[in-house]
């Protein structure tokens, strides 16, 4: 283990952000499992599966970052230049950077699948916009691995500057990282704002629309982190205090990874939050009809007809009477969908 003298600078910040956000994401994921088994009754397994994979990839990243910080990464180069495990710390940082990419992607996949399950077969343009955006994001992350580890020849020079060789691929890596970061930010914004389009078309109170839109809109934070991370990566080529100035890149990368997972868990936890609110504010006289993400709410169908001097007008209405929306995300007093048909008689003057 490295001496405590090497642990300092931005090191405590790296460890603090990594562990604290990891704890928040872990708690939310545990609550999602509780919601899955005891609230929504095993509905919505796919988003939960991908979120779990994202979490599983995030844990090694936290461990590697904490080890890197303990070995001196995040502290000034004048202090840690002779740290016995500094090269190991740099190697761990590059490995963690790749696992973070895939953790972020699986969290985005979880969010996308959740949105697709909520919207059903509606809005095919929005559906394919998300699919294409997330798919290109995956291609970018896969391409990141060889581009990062071929920056230098030999590859070991990337984390051990004492090795003889060259690093002619740094600019190529910067260009790729810039494109990947920009595309990732765009994907985050799509996943953050597109659900608002779905929610805004429902007959809900404005307050509920705003609450749910804000929960789904946490992806804006990840978009900002992705942009800042891209900027920080571009600065690395010119920095002199590399072990110290790499820390913001690590912190924003870790923040992006956990916040995107937290954002993907926010909306699926609404059924649990709603049930908890109902349990504390209203007496329960019997079994709840609420069943979360795919609640089988009962509906009331009515059909009316009226006659005017120009013909007949038929109206049909379908209304939820359980107070649960079909997606289970939102509490409602009933969602009404109406359809009218007018038959005109040309012989009537």
φ and ψ of 296, to 5 deg: -90, 65
Q: Residue 4's pLDDT band (boundaries 50, 70, 90)? A: low
Model confidence over 275-303: pLDDT tens digits? Answer: 888 888 765 444 433 343 444 333 344 44
Residue 250 lies in a domain: yes
CA angle at residue 16 from 263 to 76, to 5 degrees? Answer: 125
Burial per residue of 29-42, b for 16 or more beta-carbon CB atoms within 10 angstroms, e otherwise: bebbeebbeebbee
- Whether the per-residue pLDDT at 22 is higher than 90: the answer is yes
DSSP letter at 123? -
Q: Residue 306's pLDDT band (boundaries 50, 70, 90)? A: low
Residue 288 lies in a domain: no
Do 74 and 186 sit in the same domain of this protein? yes
Do 206 and 349 sit in the same domain of this protein? no
pLDDT on residue 221: 87
Model confidence over 187-222: pLDDT tens digits? Answer: 999 998 898 888 777 777 787 778 778 877 888 888
Do 116 and 36 sit in the same domain of this protein? yes
pLDDT on residue 19: 97
Sheet containing 336-344, strands listed edge to edge, beginning at the edge strand earlier in sequence: 299-308, 311-320, 336-344
Do 266 and 336 sit in the same domain of this protein? no
pLDDT on residue 83: 80
- Whether the per-residue pLDDT at 332 is higher than 50: the answer is no
Mean pLDDT of the chain, nearest integer: 80
Structural domain ending residue among the three candidates 247, 275, 303: 275
Structural domain ending residue among the three candidates 210, 245, 275: 275
What is the C-alpha to C-alpha distance for residues 156 and 118, in angstroms, rounded to an integer?
47
Do 252 and 308 sit in the same domain of this protein? no
- Whether the per-residue pLDDT at 257 is higher than 90: the answer is yes
Residue 287 lies in a domain: no
Q: Are strands 299-308 and 336-344 parallel, antiparallel or unpaired?
A: unpaired
Residue 172 lies in a domain: yes
pLDDT on residue 296: 36
Do 183 and 304 sit in the same domain of this protein? no
Q: Residue 243's pLDDT band (boundaries 50, 70, 90)? A: confident
What is the C-alpha to C-alpha distance for residues 65 and 107, in angstroms, rounded to an integer?
20
Model confidence over 107-158: pLDDT tens digits? Answer: 999 999 999 988 888 788 989 999 999 999 999 999 999 998 998 999 999 8
Provide the domain limits for residue 333: 295-349
Q: Which residue has the higher pLDDT, 267 or 252?
A: 252
Q: Residue 105's pLDDT band (boundaries 50, 70, 90)? A: very high
Domain count, the chain: 2
Enter the pTM of the model. 0.79
pLDDT on residue 297: 37
Residue 330 lies in a domain: yes
**Max intra-chain CA distance, the chain:** 99
Structural domain ending residue among the three candidates 244, 275, 306: 275
Q: For the CA atoms of the chain, what is the radius of gyration?
A: 26
CA angle at residue 193 from 111 to 186, to 5 degrees? Answer: 80
pLDDT on residue 335: 39
Do 225 and 117 sit in the same domain of this protein? yes
pLDDT on residue 203: 72
Do 17 and 147 sit in the same domain of this protein? yes
Do 82 and 227 sit in the same domain of this protein? yes
Q: Cis ω on the peptide bond leading into residue 83 (within 30° of 0)? A: no
Residue 290 lies in a domain: no
Do 102 and 229 sit in the same domain of this protein? yes
What is the C-alpha to C-alpha distance for residues 124 and 122, in angstroms, rounded to an integer?
6
Residue 137 lies in a domain: yes
Do 75 and 16 sit in the same domain of this protein? yes
pLDDT on residue 267: 83
pLDDT on residue 260: 92
Residue 280 lies in a domain: no
Continuous segment of H or E residues that includes residue 315 = strand 311-320
The CATH number covering residue 102 comes to: 1.20.1070
Continuous segment of H or E residues that includes residue 211 = helix 206-216
SS3 at position 201: coil
CA angle at residue 243 from 239 to 247, to 5 degrees? Answer: 90
What is the C-alpha to C-alpha distance for residues 115 and 127, in angstroms, rounded to an integer?
9
Do 245 and 127 sit in the same domain of this protein? yes
| The residue to which tokens 């690395």 are assigned | 236
- Whether the per-residue pLDDT at 310 is higher than 60: the answer is no
């Amino acid at each position: 283990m490295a001496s405590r003298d090497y642990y300092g600078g931005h090191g405590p910040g790296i460890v603090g952000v990594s562990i604290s956000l990891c704890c928040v994401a872990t708690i939310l994921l545990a609550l999602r499992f509780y919601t899955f088994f005891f609230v929504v009754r095993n509905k919505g397994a796919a988003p939960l599966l991908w979120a779990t994979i994202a979490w599983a990839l995030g844990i090694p990243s936290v461990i590697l970052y904490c080890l890197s910080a303990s070995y001196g990464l995040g502290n000034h180069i004048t202090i840690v230049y002779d740290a016995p495990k500094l090269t190991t710390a740099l190697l761990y940082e590059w490995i963690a950077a790749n696992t973070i990419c895939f953790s972020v992607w699986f969290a985005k996949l979880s969010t996308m699948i959740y949105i697709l399950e909520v919207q059903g077969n509606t809005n095919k343009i929005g559906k394919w916009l998300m699919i294409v955006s997330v798919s290109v994001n995956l291609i970018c992350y896969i391409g990141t691995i060889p581009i990062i580890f071929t920056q230098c020849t030999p590859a070991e020079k990337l984390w051990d500057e004492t090795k003889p060789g060259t690093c002619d691929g740094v600019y190529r890596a910067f260009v790729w990282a810039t494109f990947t970061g920009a595309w990732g930010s765009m994907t985050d914004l799509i996943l953050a704002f597109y659900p608002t389009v779905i929610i805004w078309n429902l007959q809900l109170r404005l307050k509920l629309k705003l609450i749910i839109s804000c929960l789904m809109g946490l992806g804006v934070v990840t978009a900002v982190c992705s942009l800042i991370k891209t900027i920080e990566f571009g600065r690395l080529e010119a920095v002199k205090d590399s072990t110290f100035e790499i820390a913001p890149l690590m912190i924003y990368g870790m923040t992006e990874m956990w916040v995107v997972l937290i954002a993907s868990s926010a909306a699926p936890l609404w059924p649990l939050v709603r049930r908890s609110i109902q349990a504390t504010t209203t007496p329960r006289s019997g079994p709840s009809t609420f069943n979360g993400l795919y609640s089988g709410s009962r509906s009331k169908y009515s059909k009316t007809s009226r006659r005017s001097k120009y013909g007949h007008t038929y109206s049909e209405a379908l209304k939820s009477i359980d107070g649960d929306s079909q997606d289970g995300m939102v509490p409602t007093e009933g969602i009404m969908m109406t359809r009218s048909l007018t038959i005109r008689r040309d012989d009537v003057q």
